[in-house]
Amino acid sequence: MSPQLAAHALIVTPALARQQGSLTGVFTQAAALLEASRPAASVPVAPGTGAGEGGEALPAGAVPAVPGAASTAAALPVPEGVRQVLQQLLGLRLAGGAAGDGAPSALDLKAAVERSGLGTVSPRSGSASSSSGGAASASGASGAAGQTVKGLLGQLKLLLSDMGLEAGLPRPLTQPALPALAAAPKGQAEQPLQQLLAHLMGTGDGDAETQAAARTALGRAALAGLARETDSALARIRLTQMATRGLLSEEGNAPQTHHASHRPPMDLVVDLPLALGNQTAVLQMQVGRDRNPDGSEEGEEGAWRLRFAVDTVETGPVEASVSLRGQGTFISLWLDRAETYQSLSEDRALLEAALADAGLDLQELRLLRGLPVASQRRAGAQVDTRG
């Protein structure tokens, strides 16, 4: 990388590291605001199904109704321009496959990476190109071709800034670990949509005028929170781009245990928003390929490696490592919650059959109770200033 690029990274990284936050924050805020500002005449949606009560498909960007939401409550005042961006943003989450079987396909996953807005990055050369258009149609997701999570967050930031709403103070105690290519990925816990929505739907007692004033104040405060989450998400995406381009040093990490300490860094790290009913989880994913000692790629039989982590209300923290060596597939799953481990162990045969149906030659499937030993990082972000 160029000295100028390294110097720029050295300057901007500390501020980004203080501001960054999980993408779950902005997506949870978006879903809650859309629900709280839903007009009373909106068509009700069957909870958790993504379809209307009669089973009809939802229009692009529509948000399933949240169980327990007060349908008779007056709508929270949210500008229409903001609502449109929030609807488009939620439409870019990774969901079920186009076939409707609830399992994302390889094309869905590829399109989700393109829609993240990270661009196509070559970490060895430090070059990047913009995402290709048409990703949404490739995966069956809603939204116009060429839209990305980063681009829509940028639009949202401008809209909120024009309203006089700027990002608030960073929250260091709630920040996820910085993105990295060598350290194992970490799941980012879902944020409670129900609790946030209950707050937004409550306007207290009083006459109509008092309640209207309360809704206006509550809406302004909610949009201010959205501005903070938007800025944190943009900082997170920018740090992720820097990590993939080799601008965040891995030297601040203590050596990992077992075979993890010998793994070369991955090539790409990305946070993918994942739609789970009314909730949004974040799937952190790393992709890489084994290389020769001189840094060149191995032959066609060189192993491709995939690591990911997710933390949902239903499963708890889950981490995975997938290796494709030749025609064989080797998978390790770490499950932190005892009931999740037990459930998956009981369904192991079904999981193996599903992998076979997907065309994978499964050579090994390991289900491990607990999580890998986490790498310990020094406080703050490290910047690789080597050219």
- In this model, does residue 80 exceed pLDDT 90? yes
What do you get for the CA distance between the two ends of the chain, in Å?
A: 5
3-state DSSP assignment of residue 363: strand
For the stretch 112-145, pLDDT in tens is: 999 998 864 433 333 334 333 333 333 333 444 5
Rounded CA-CA distance 35/280 in Å is: 14
Residue type, 137: S
> According to the model, what pLDDT value does residue 102 have?
59
Return the structure tokens found at 203. Answer: 């306007």
Rounded CA-CA distance 128/118 in Å is: 9
Beta strands in the chain (DSSP E): 120-122, 127-129, 268-276, 279-289, 304-312, 316-325, 328-335, 361-369
Pairwise pLDDT comparison (332 vs 139), residue with the higher score? 332
3-state DSSP assignment of residue 360: coil
Number of Cβ within a 10 Å radius of residue 197: 22
Q: Which residue has the tokens 């090539």?
A: 267
Rounded CA-CA distance 36/66 in Å is: 10
Pairwise pLDDT comparison (134 vs 1), residue with the higher score? 1
Rounded CA-CA distance 231/218 in Å is: 20
Exposure string (b/e) for 205-216, b if CB count within 10 Å is 16 or more?
A: eeeeeeeeeebe
- In this model, does residue 326 exceed pLDDT 80? yes
What is the rounded average pLDDT for all residues in the chain?
75
Mean predicted confidence (pLDDT) in 292-308: 68
Q: Which of 233, 223, 104 is nearest to 171 (CA)?
A: 233
- Kindly indicate the confidence band of residue 294, based on its pLDDT and cuts at 50, 70 and 90: low
The angle subtended at Cα 63 by Cα 57 and Cα 69, nearest 5°, is 120
Question: Which DSSP symbol is given to 259?
Answer: G
> According to the model, what pLDDT value does residue 353 have?
93
**Cβ(312)–Cβ(337) below 8 Å:** no
Residue 146 — left, alpha, or beta (φ > 0 → left; ψ -120 to 50 → alpha)? left
Domain-wise residue ranges, the chain: 3-40+77-180+191-244, 261-369
- In this model, does residue 105 exceed pLDDT 90? no
3-state DSSP assignment of residue 123: coil
